[in-house]
Structure 1
């Protein structure tokens, strides 16, 4: 619908001449022209995307009496928030997990930290302790990021069933052990992979309960919901591959722990960025996409995972960490 018509039918902007305007122009045509001149397309569907405010309408010259009408009409056509209200049980379960998570993070982090002699006894820090600290702080970033995604997912799929709740409890307990296990790389990687395996199990239970959201013909979420499980599967594979490289081919390399932690951090950061809040597609565009197009849309995530793994192999195999340490030593000698 053109803006002039939309203003008349939805925002109650009258199609009557503006007093004293030369040439003669109606209120609806005048404000439609102002919106178009401000860079908005002559289509009401473009209005929610712009995010117009009271001050914006004031700046382009919309009279006070019509600003509220226009903003209220825009709110009515804006896509609904991607949120689904859960039962009282679902809210109680979510509340318990929200209280449990910070306790788990603090217990796992503090327990490992106070067990380091540099902290406990004040002795000079050792190389092994530096490795532990690298794994510990990397683990905290991974854990915090994971719980941020979790809270976002619950807006769409509340904990109406007990199954996913028990998986959540398992993830929290595993997070405590994961952080505490920073002393041993094998245990640390093992619990990292277990956490992501639990994420996949959680996705499977979500699919079983909210199956209608995963089929184009029945979903009203307005985005491709399989992006979450696909991302979790890809990054589970990524961390398994990293664990293999860290514990076997590259385990004897100097400073390899810091390379491993760097790429675990980059993986978690990439997952965080790639799993940002999905935007509702206009006219349910994703429902009209073929299976091949949907696969192609997910392919760039595969390329990111494979690219990071290739870079990890290159950095590890060429001993880049050794070169960096030599540069640090050389720089210190010049000071």
Structure 2
């Protein structure tokens, strides 16, 4: 792994005192969601999943993923967590759909898509208490797939899109899908809340046990509210979709042609899911050490090794051909 070259890329990341930034290749793409639809063999819409190969239809919070997984797609090899988002589709003029492929983020050359994952312990150690790493059994969701308006999307902070002019573009984030072709693709940014109630590893809506800072922001060192007093790392996903493959098919009526797999044509329903699965106290050690990209406290594997960790779809269906409807029959909506 070229950690020396990745250190320079820290300048491209969110302004932070220290952070983990690492690659996780694609584990599987299919209609499964053990958080929202546990036990359901096919969830309503397609997800891309990364991380440990213990991902399943149902995941018992009392069983550590590191006890079940035999490999992980992540470059920190003690991370058997699962991270997932919806996938993006291109809607052609004739009404058919084609899944938009993903590509590696700058500095990370995954052969089969995936994400870049960040864990940022704190912006200012002088303003925040010790950051507590997530615990065994912890899980959470941010965002809402039924949202279709800007006002709704603003209930969550920093679920955004970056229209990449080059691979290093990190400005001009929007809450909705970019409204013009993006020369280097679309990067989807999912940032999770950073304050925990300190008691519940999950909640019925998978959100209520978490909160944003009471004032200010995570980036400004804002304090956690009294209801959620425990600072946790900011978990952040970057996923790069290679929309350049469809640049010659952009609509001429001023609309944009991309939709989420859950039928959102606006982009306001952007969301992400997380199941913690780091082995032992490895993540806490990294947070305590304030690792910055390179983290000698953690074991690593090459991206090539991560690419070899994969999982077969549990229920086969066509998600990659030219489709007459989105998988699961999800209708496309704009309001």
TM-score range, shorter chain: under 0.3
Task: Answer with 1 or 2: which has the greater Rg.
Answer: 1
Q: Say which structure is richer in helix.
A: 1
TM-score, scaled relative to structure 2: 0.22
Greater relative contact order (Cα 8 A, min sep 6): structure 1 or 2?
2
